[in-house]
């Protein structure tokens, strides 16, 4: 037989056991000073927003307001009045350094003051300079500026050379260097010969070939000689002024020298020109053709042998014979006239054979 009461007591006893265990745990925790909540699982922490604290404001101290009076426009500096000036609104000092493309340069310093200026004259002419300048006030604030300027080119005089033609070829004037002097001299020698040229050119560094001039002066007997006198000096980098005259006097002098060297021979008592005189007349024609401007008078002369009327007519005929021959060779007849003087103008003694031969002649004069 079973006891029903014992069956009913078992669940009750089980509950009491569990309750007693719980109470024991609580008491143990209490005695150790811990909270039951602390033994529970911890929840995730809430995010904390970070707050930026403002940085303390620092008062800025402004640099002094410097005023550059001329430095930014320093390119306007001239060679003889070169100056830099600038100013600040406080007591200050300055430095100014400059260096040229040619290696020249310098440094200036001054102060304290509110206005600064110094002279830059004496710099290399026609040279670019780079510069840097700094103003510093009493508190150490600085202002720096920089730039460049070019000094004025030197005031040079253009080369002026005169080449005077004559018995000697004389070179005078001023040139900038020895190379120019030698080049002009060598050109003159090539044209006129070493013995004929006198080179009196002066060298002066204050001159320049830019805009320089060579003037050729004097007189020559032919058009070609005039043209050659100028053309010989072309290509030297200087302008050439050809002031050479084509001289009728020189033409006549050349003709008379030719006829004195080789007198024109005529048949006795006649105006017929002998064959041996043809080369002389041909050369005379070339001289006249080479000088296109001069007009000449062809004069005939005789000795005193024979009647005066006969000699006058003979001298006229001989002068005309020379004119006709020259005209046949191309010399314009309008540039010539023939005239006879007979025995009226002797240059030798008619009492001697030699003197009479000198008197039988053809001469040229400007018409």
Structure tokens at 229: 């006198």
Looking at residues 214-236, what average pLDDT do you find?
A: 92
pLDDT tens-digit map of 268-299: 889 999 999 999 999 999 999 999 889 999 99
Q: What pLDDT, on the 0 to 100 scale, is given for residue 72?
A: 36
Q: What pLDDT, on the 0 to 100 scale, is given for residue 13?
A: 63
Compute CA 317 distance to the chain's CA centroid, rounded to the nearest angstrom. Answer: 65
pLDDT band at 124 (very low <50, low <70, confident <90, very high): confident
Percent above pLDDT 70 for the chain: 73
- The number of residues making up the chain comes to 367
Looking at residues 341-362, what average pLDDT do you find?
A: 92
Q: What pLDDT, on the 0 to 100 scale, is given for residue 154?
A: 75
User: Which residues are registered as beta bridge partners of 119?
Assistant: 83
Close Cβ partners of 244 (under 8 Å, ≥ 6 residues apart): 165, 216, 217, 218, 219, 220, 225, 226, 229, 230
Q: What pLDDT, on the 0 to 100 scale, is given for residue 321?
A: 96
Q: Is the pLDDT of residue 118 over 80?
A: no
**DSSP labels for 166-235?**
SSSEEEEEEESSHHHHHHHHHHHHHHH-GGGEEE--EE-TTEEEEEEEEEEESEESSHHHHHHHHHTTTT
Question: CA-based angle 43:44:48, to the nearest 5?
Answer: 130
Say what the pTM is.
Answer: 0.55
User: Which residues are registered as beta bridge partners of 301?
Assistant: 361
Least confident of 94-98, 169-173, 227-231, 341-345: 94-98
Q: What pLDDT, on the 0 to 100 scale, is given for residue 86?
A: 63
Q: What pLDDT, on the 0 to 100 scale, is given for residue 189?
A: 96
Separation CA 12–CA 77 (nearest Å): 121
Q: What pLDDT, on the 0 to 100 scale, is given for residue 126?
A: 81
Q: Are 113 and 89 in contact (CB under 8 A)?
A: no
pLDDT tens-digit map of 25-53: 555 555 555 554 555 455 555 655 666 66
Least confident of 84-98, 222-236, 338-352: 84-98
Separation CA 249–CA 255 (nearest Å): 10
Looking at residues 140-160, what average pLDDT do you find?
A: 82
Q: Are 144 and 223 in contact (CB under 8 A)?
A: no
Give the CB-side neighbour count of residue 285, counting CA atoms within 13 A. Answer: 18
Separation CA 140–CA 137 (nearest Å): 5
Domains and CATH numbers, the chain: 71-150 (2.60.40), 157-245 (no CATH), 248-366 (3.30.1330.60)
More confident residue, 222 or 171: 171
pLDDT band at 81 (very low <50, low <70, confident <90, very high): very low
Q: Which residue has the tokens 């008592």?
A: 269
């Amino acid at each position: 037989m079973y006891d029903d009461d014992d069956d009913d007591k078992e669940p009750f006893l089980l509950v009491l056991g569990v309750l007693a265990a719980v109470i024991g745990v609580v008491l143990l925790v209490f005695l150790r000073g811990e909270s039951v909540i602390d033994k529970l699982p911890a929840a995730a922490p809430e995010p904390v927003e970070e707050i930026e604290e403002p940085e303390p404001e620092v008062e800025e101290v402004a640099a002094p307001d410097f005023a550059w009076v001329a430095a930014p426009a320093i390119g306007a500096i001239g060679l003889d009045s070169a100056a830099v000036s600038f100013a600040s609104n406080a007591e200050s000092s300055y430095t100014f350094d400059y260096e040229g493309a040619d290696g020249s340069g310098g440094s200036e310093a001054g102060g304290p003051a509110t206005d600064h200026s110094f002279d830059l004259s004496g710099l290399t002419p026609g040279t670019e300079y780079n510069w840097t300048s700094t103003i510093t006030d009493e508190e150490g604030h600085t202002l720096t500026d920089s730039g460049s300027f070019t000094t004025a080119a030197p005031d040079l005089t253009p080369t002026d050379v005169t080449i005077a033609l004559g018995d000697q070829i004389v070179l005078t004037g001023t040139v900038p260097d020895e190379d120019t002097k030698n080049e002009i001299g060598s050109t003159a020698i090539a044209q006129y010969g070493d013995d004929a040229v006198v080179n009196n050119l002066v060298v002066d560094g204050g001159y320049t070939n830019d805009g320089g001039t060579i003037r050729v002066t004097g007189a020559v007997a032919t058009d070609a000689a005039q043209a050659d006198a100028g053309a010989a000096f072309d290509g030297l980098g200087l302008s050439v002024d050809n002031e050479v005259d084509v001289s009728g006097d020189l033409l006549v002098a050349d003709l008379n020298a030719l006829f004195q060297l080789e007198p024109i021979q005529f048949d006795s008592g006649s105006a017929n020109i002998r064959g041996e005189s043809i080369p002389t007349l041909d050369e005379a024609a070339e001289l006249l053709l080479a000088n296109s401007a001069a007009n000449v008078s062809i004069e005939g002369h005789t000795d005193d042998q024979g009647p005066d009327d006969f000699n006058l007519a003979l001298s006229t005929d001989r002068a005309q014979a020379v004119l006709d021959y020259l005209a046949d060779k191309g010399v314009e007849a309008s540039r010539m006239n023939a005239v006879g003087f007979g025995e009226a103008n002797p240059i030798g003694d008619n009492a001697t054979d030699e003197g009479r031969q000198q008197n039988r002649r053809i001469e040229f004069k400007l018409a």
